[in-house]
Amino acid sequence: MFDRIPLPRLAALTSGAVLSMAAAAASAQEGQHKAILSLGVIDWVVVALYFVAIIGIGLYLRGFTKTGEDFFMGGRKNSSWVAGLAFLSANLGALEILGWTGGTMKYGMFVSHWYWLGAIPAMLFLGLYMMPFYYSSKIHSVPGYLKLRYDERTRLLNAISFAVMTLLMSGINLYLMALVFNVLLGWDWHVSMWVSAAAIGCYITLGGLMSAIFTEIVQFFLIWAGLFLVTILGVVELGGPAEVFANLPDKMTTLWQTTGAASSNDMGVTWLGLVMGLGFVLSFGYWTTDFLVVQRAFSSKDLRSARLTPITASFFKMALPFIVVGAGLVAFQLTRRADMGFELLPHPSTGEAWYDSALPMLIARYYPHGLVGLGITALLAGFMAGQAGNVSAFNTVWTYDIYKAVINRKASDAHLVWVGRVTTVVGILLSVATAYVAMQFNTIMDYIQAIFSWVNAPLFATMLLGMFWKRTTSAGAFWGLIAGMLVSFGIYMGFKFNLFGPTVATILTLAEHPSDMTRNLWQATWGWIVCFGGTILVSLFTVPKPDSELVGLVKGLTVEEDGSVKVAWYGRPAFWAAVSLAVLIVLNILFW
Amino acid sequence: MNNEGKQPLPIWFFVGVILFVYGILVIVGQAMDPGGQALKSLKPGFIWGPVMIVFGVIFTAIGLVAHKRQG
């Protein structure tokens, strides 16, 4: 769980499910397990209908996908509701749900930090302050902004690192999906991987980003329809919400009270590590610069909708603990009461209680046929939509930031759409290949997940300086980014191979014997600090671009015309951001 | 298929249809289920299925109305 996992693509994989699942993989591959759930005919119909629906949607949207704007940007016609739900769903994966439900059994309400502190401030900042620069410049990708603001080499550096990271993450996602369904249902690994990969490849190739967005929104509703009932039934069986919270250890019911010292909470982090590492560097690094999620906002019909996209998503993000944490607390209470007859599965390799099995065990406990199929379909959709998100972001970055920028600068729009479709198929095949590599070498996942904090945490410093300090130079951005990535990578490797003594560890993490979670938070923080400082330093000794080249890209040189001033106060992004922030503060006070 | 100038049906339409069909299947599944779960007396499929159907109808209607307005 948490104590074993580096921070990867923030929420989707920080849950700890990944390595926990990976550790189970060897045993699972040898068939040393029994399937938890069995599907009836009606459940199979539910699962099959999902595949029919998503491929049908892809076929339908094919007729509306003619241009590059259609294929890569969803036509830029979406409302903030559509883009906002897709923005959220691109991050909402099945692994996150399984992992954090299990994580709640160990850490209680603490898990909510990943949904609140670790998401909401960054999403609001993106909507209020960064989106005008992204959207107004009509770029196709985040690396595209780096080209306009800095230069080609910085764009290429980010494009290549993002493309590699995305493909590897896509492969891991595919592998773990096959693993989960093998463990839960006894499905064949190879069939799971190839069938889901083929379906994803089919509907993304047909409808591009719009297909991905449609299926992500379908996934959002399936997750609520298929999994929220588990929490409701658990609360009913336990006798109501008060009984769920009754007799919980104090540290499981609080968000902040145990963060004064790392030793006071099971996660081993302090409030400073949480605020700096999770709340600032990792959260902002992920939500404001990761093209996988930001691409959904780019599909909005106008700037006001684009700004509202992450703000709209923030409300739904704050609601997710009602599924995840709620189910985790129910499972925790059920295991404490002998009369309930509820046990987690033993971990296939260690034999200890396997927290990631909590949600499937609750489904098995409460759901009749039909609902079992719906719950499984919700998890399946969670895996597949995440996969599709990776592939659609990869094909855009490859096509615009690598192919068009380096290989074929004069490519026509129609040719780029063709390249995007071919890239989708190639990306899917590379994901499958990565999945097979991960299947053979489980330890490789440890490295792959860490890539996020090497790539995105420093990138946030580059973006922040680029958007808010016009003195930032192209050389500063490039060398600062490289320095930040190397430092983050170096700290990761240093801890991994025990190269740091207690003194260095204390300097780096404020703890003599830091937990892996603490290391990960500080590793990202140091990467950000070095990138931030290095960029400023180099910028002070190099020549900045003239103001005329930075109009629309830097604060103070931007004419912000998003139409917000023309709409009523209740339609403005700032109003809804304030409401979202108020809800966040209330939630933190309630569970302080 | 030539969709020049046309807008695709909104996603809400598809969400509605899926929720509606799944709501029916959940009810059918509950009816066919042999039981054995905790809280089986509640028959959750008979409650959740209709809830999904209602939401399905609402979203389908929203999608169709929005599509009509798009022209």
The radius of gyration of chain A from alpha carbons, rounded to an integer in Å, stands at 23
> CA A90, CA A93: separation in Å to the nearest integer?
8
Cβ separation of A64 and B3 shorter than 8 Å?
yes
pLDDT for position A247 = 77
Nearest to B8 among A40, A60, A365 (CB): A60
Which structure tokens are listed for A409? 């600068």
Which residues are registered as beta bridge partners of A300? A78
ipTM > 0.95? no
pLDDT digit string (tens) for A544-576? 999 888 888 888 876 556 666 678 888 899 999
Residue A457 lies in a domain: no
Q: What are A383-423's pLDDT values in tens digits? A: 888 888 888 889 999 999 999 988 988 889 999 999 999 99
Phi, psi of A132 (to 5 degrees): -55, -40
Structural domain of residue A307, as residue ranges?
Answer: 8-253+293-444
The pLDDT of residue A380 is above 60 = yes
Contact between B33 and A229 using a beta-carbon 8 Å cutoff = no
Give whichever of A140-149, A518-527, A530-539 has the largest mean pLDDT. Answer: A530-539
Residue A61 Cα distances to A22, A58, A75, B8, B15, angstroms: 37, 5, 11, 7, 15
Structural domains counted in chain A: 1
Out of B3, B15, B22, closest to residue A217 by CB: B15
Q: Is the pLDDT at A319 greater than 90, yes or no?
A: yes
pLDDT at A530 over 70: yes
Binned at pLDDT 50, 70 and 90, residue A449 comes out as low
CATH of residue A17: 1.20.1730.10
In this structure, are residues A264 and A251 in contact, taking their beta carbons and an 8 Å threshold? Answer: yes
Residue A205 located in a structural domain:
yes
Total H helices, total E strands in chain B: 2, 0
Rounded to an integer, the average pLDDT of A74-82 is: 87
Q: Which two tokens stand for residue A534?
A: 């290095």
Any domain includes A534: no
Work out the number of other CB atoms within 10 angstroms of the CB of residue A256. 16
As a whole number of angstroms, the distance between CA A306 and CA A286 comes to 17
Q: Span A104-119, mean pLDDT?
A: 89
Are B44 and A77 a contacting pair at CB < 8 A?
Answer: no
Beta-bridge partner residues of A78 = A300
**Cα separation of A424 and A60, whole Å?**
18
Task: Count Cα atoms within 13 angstroms, Cβ side, for A385.
Answer: 34
Chain A residues within 8 A of B70 when measuring between CB atoms: none
Residue A440 lies in a domain: yes
Q: pLDDT value at position A106?
A: 84
A136 or A589, which is more confident: A589
Q: Taking the CB of residue A36, how many other CB atoms lie within 10 A of it?
A: 15
Checking if the pLDDT of A13 tops 70, the result is no
- The reported pLDDT for the residue numbered A29 is 53
Q: Is residue B60 part of a domain?
A: yes
Number of domains in chain B: 1
Single-letter code of the amino acid located at A186:
G
Which one of B1, B30, B37 has the shortest CB-CB distance to A370? B30
pTM over 0.90: no
Residue B27 lies in a domain: no
Inter-residue contact A592 to A255 (CB < 8 Å): yes
Task: For residue B59, give how far its alpha carbon lies from the nearest alpha carbon of chain A (Å).
Answer: 11
User: Which of chain B's residues have a Cβ under 8 Å away from the Cβ of A82?
Assistant: 10-11
Q: Cβ contacts of residue A360 below 8 Å, gap of 6+? A: A36, A37, A98, A184
Cβ-Cβ contacts under 8 Å, B22 against chain A = 46, 49, 225, 374
> What is the tens place of the pLDDT at every residue in A194-249?
988 998 888 888 888 888 899 889 999 999 999 999 999 999 999 888 888 887 88
A418 contact partners, CB below 8 Å, separation of at least 6? none
| CA proximity to A97, closest of A391, A362, A442, A432 | A362
Within a domain: A556: no
- Whether B69 is covered by a domain: the verdict is yes
In a domain, B58, yes or no: yes
Whether A6 has a pLDDT exceeding 60, the answer reads: no
Chain B residues closer than 8 Å to A233 by CB: 38-39, 42, 44
Task: Name the amino acid, one letter, at A408.
Answer: N
The answer to whether residue A558 is domain-embedded is no
CB within 8 Å: B29 and A64: no
Structural domain including B60 reads: 42-71
Query: Which residues make beta-bridge pairs with A353?
Result: A346
Whether residue A548 is contained in a domain is answered as no
Q: Please check whether residue A120 lies inside any domain of the structure.
A: yes
Q: Is residue B28 part of a domain?
A: no
Paired residues of A423 in beta bridges = none
The helices-and-strands tally (H runs, E runs) of chain A is 25, 0
